[in-house]
Amino acid sequence: MAKKEVKVTRKYQITIPESVRSELGIKVGDNVIVKIEEGHAVIEVPERVSDPVKVLWELFEKPMNIDAVRLVEESHAEELPADLIRPIKRRRRNPAK
């Protein structure tokens, strides 16, 4: 386990030592989680997702039939005044207008 003492700057910043970055696989631009556990500051590296699409698909057991356009229109219909909703519905039925 890598362990090293570091200095806190005037802006309360620290530099993560190379040995710790290496062991945790921290690269420039990565996010880390800093938390307190039993009076100790702990730095964690969030789990990296190599294929986010695959992870999202695995959230569902089977494919879902969703009309995304209808869902968006319905969500807007709840917020828009009635006189604006009618022209939107008409345009959808007659896209040439």
CATH code, domain carrying 16 = 2.10.260.10
User: Are 35 and 60 members of one domain?
Assistant: no
Q: How many domains does the chain have?
A: 2
Domain housing 58 = 52-93
> H-helix or E-strand containing 36?
strand 33-37
User: Are 34 and 20 members of one domain?
Assistant: yes
User: Are 41 and 1 members of one domain?
Assistant: yes
What is the model's pTM? 0.47
User: Are 61 and 27 members of one domain?
Assistant: no
Query: Would you write out the chain's pLDDT as a tens digit for each of its 97 residues?
Result: 777 899 999 999 999 999 999 988 999 999 999 999 999 999 999 988 888 888 888 887 777 788 888 888 877 766 666 666 555 555 566 666 5
Torsions phi, psi for 56 (to 5 deg): -65, -40
User: Are 57 and 30 members of one domain?
Assistant: no
